[in-house]
Amino acid sequence: MGVSNSVVNGGQREEAARTKPGLVFIRPPKTASTSVAYLVRSLLGLTRDHLVPDTAVFRGSPDAIEPRHRMVLGHVTWDDAAWLLADPAAWQPFMTFRDPIDRTVSHYRYIRRLPPQYQPEDEHRRMCSEALARPLRELVYDDTSGFYNCTMPLQTLYLGSPLRGRVPAYPLPDEIRLVEYQQAALRSALGRLEGLAWIGIVESLARDVQVFAFNQGWPPVDAPHENRTMPVRNESADSSELDPATRRVLADRLAADYVLLESAREIAAERYREMAETIPGVRGRS
């Protein structure tokens, strides 16, 4: 029986795609990652079948990775995907960064706007219930709450610590709350920044996605649609507001993330400058 041209051509396209490394999204929650994921999937024409299953990543299952798999898009940490990233010719990491307090507030608002029919996994249920019942300014101070875990420097932990799992809604080890642990994670994260194939900063995403497209050989692209968390209808009922004193407490707790963000900004800006020197007139599209 002959083989159809569509099958042959499809196999050739898949083999051609496989000559470029796959992409691993190091993806803390609420860092504009959904918008970027949609953009990349659209540019590459990826369907769900092209994504590495989360279970394969978390279990470190090489046999579960198929040639058609081109990207890891779950909320994975660097350490979750370290066994893939050990071969940079096959897999390359990328990451987006956001102001840490803005990320925390957005995470809280997102949970409060989940549809009533949403049934989270057991380890997330307590955190969701707390966010629905209590204002953020209370949860920032309550270290017994599940959401308190989400007021940690998650961007640093996702990139630089041995933290594993989808999102840290389940009880975290007490050591993660220690400054010494976070400083060690920060040192590791700073060392890994240059190893990211692309760095996107939320406030400069229109600029940074140009660098991503340039480095990946894609056509010029516009910034992805910003996936904003909509404000509540009744502003007086918005319990995500933080007074200045609470913001200072949260900023201190997120100190590692602020250091990491500044370094990420510098690298992203430098990569844009390098691209702009290569492509005359590119600055006009920023």
pLDDT digit string (tens) for 207-250? 999 999 998 988 888 766 555 555 544 444 578 989 999 999 99
Two tokens at 79?
Answer: 């350490």
Tens digits of per-residue pLDDT, 126-168? 788 888 889 999 999 999 888 888 899 999 999 999 877 655 4
Q: Which has more pLDDT, 255 or 279?
A: 255
- Structural domains of the chain in order of their starting residue, each with its CATH number: 5-285 (3.40.50)
Residue 199 Ramachandran class (φ > 0 left, ψ -120 to 50 alpha, else beta): beta
What's this model's pTM, rounded to 2 decimal places?
0.85
pLDDT tens for each residue of 68-77: 999 999 889 9
Alpha helices in 97-254 (DSSP H): 100-112, 122-133, 136-141, 154-160, 179-193, 205-216, 244-253
- In angstroms, the CA 211 to CA 272 distance is 6
Higher-confidence position of 270 and 228 = 270
In degrees, rounded to 5, the angle at the alpha carbon of residue 36 between the alpha carbons of residues 197 and 99 is 85
Question: What is the chain's length?
Answer: 286
Per-residue pLDDT tens over the stretch 31-88: 998 889 998 998 888 999 999 998 899 999 999 999 999 999 988 999 999 999 999 9
Cβ atoms 140, 250 nearer than 8 A = yes
